[in-house]
Homo-oligomer: A and B are copies of this chain.
Amino acid sequence: MHHTFRPTHYHTTMGPHDAVLTVQSGDSVSTTTIDARGFDHRRVSVSPRGNPQTGPFYVEGAEPGDTLRVTLDELRPNRRYGFCQSSLAANVVDPDYVPELPPPVLVEWDVDVEAGTATLVRPESKLGEFVLPLAPMPGCFGVAPKNGQFLDCAGSAEHGGNMDYRGFIAGTTVDFPVFQPGGCFFIGDGHAVQGDGEICGAGVEISMDVRFTLTVIKGKSIGWPRGENEEWIFTCGNARPLDQALQHATTEVLRWLQQDYGLDALSANLLLTQGVRYEVGNVFDPQYTMICKVNKELLRQIP
């Protein structure tokens, strides 16, 4: 079944808030998200800032210990105005270089969905009319976190959250561990395009029209978000420092290969030794995000 949902309020924490909509496993939802500062498609402020989320969506039958599969069917900026910061965050450059970062100004982008481009509008710079191809993605999405917590949408953990990984484009499927009845799915913080690491603390921030499908996988337990697209399977580890995020993501791939791909410990290790790939999700948020990936061509070689 397909639902069209029009949000009337938003949450800046993820947790077992009252559901805005209850759906069946397999249902899809069309709705909208507002930008990281709480502005909607009209550029009207409709929520306090802090990556306000649309949701939660309660999925019937999802219980702690299950997995919630989210298919990102469509992610489409619904206005032309995007913005970000102008300087890198102090924590991504050498400490002694911090005083050389230029003073921050607001950066404005013209987001043209038809043309598939984000064009730098302001400030004036030596880049001229700088253009990037769109690759819209939700900076923050996921489910209610473990232990009954309500976590703000700055951070991330096993439940997802503000992972700010530019690979979460339309067509991607993401599995989350379920910690609360109904899972409680949230989505928001759209980025029209984002560099690796979200190193200025923002993508090209934008409001979006989104469509997604929610499916419960009963009795399947996972440790960290797991994603899949046409070419890759990948996991998300969220922690600081990046080394620990990488440990989480790598361990989760080892578990996944043994859980779902028929490998034993030796074979799973062997495959990764020379076959693994990593990507940096974010290195700005309270928890950094490291992606550990395996190409499906390698998986297809498994007899």
A contact residues vs B (CB 8 Å cutoff): 12-13, 15, 50, 84-102, 105, 107, 118, 120, 123, 125-128, 130-132, 146-152, 154, 193-197, 199-200, 202-204, 239-244, 246-248, 250-251, 254, 262-267, 269-280, 283, 288, 298, 301-303
Task: Please name all residues of chain B whose beta carbon is closer than 8 Å to the beta carbon of A302 when the two chains form the complex.
Answer: 126-128
Chain B residues, CB < 8 A from A278: 196-197, 279-280
Q: Which residue of B lies closest to A99 (CB)?
A: B99
CB closest chain-B residue, reference A273: B200
CA distance A120 to B269 in the complex (A): 13
User: What is the oligomeric copy number?
Assistant: 4
Partner of A152, one of B13, B88, B89, B149: B149
Whether B270 lies near A130 (C-beta < 8 A) is yes
**Set of chain B residues within 8 Å of A130, measured between Cβ atoms:** 270-271, 298, 301
Is B98 in contact with A95, judged by CB distance below 8 angstroms? yes
Interface centre among A118, A126, A152, A273, by most chain B C-beta atoms within 10 angstroms, is A273
Q: Report whether A95 and B94 are in contact in the complex, using a CB–CB cutoff of 8 Å.
A: no
CB–CB A250/B93 < 8 A: yes
- A251: chain B residues at CB < 8 Å are 93-94, 97
CA distance A24 to B103 in the complex (A): 45
- Chain B residues, Cβ within 8 Å of A195: 272-277
- Residues of B within 8 Å of A96, CB to CB, are 90
A148 CA to B15 CA, complexed, in Å:
11
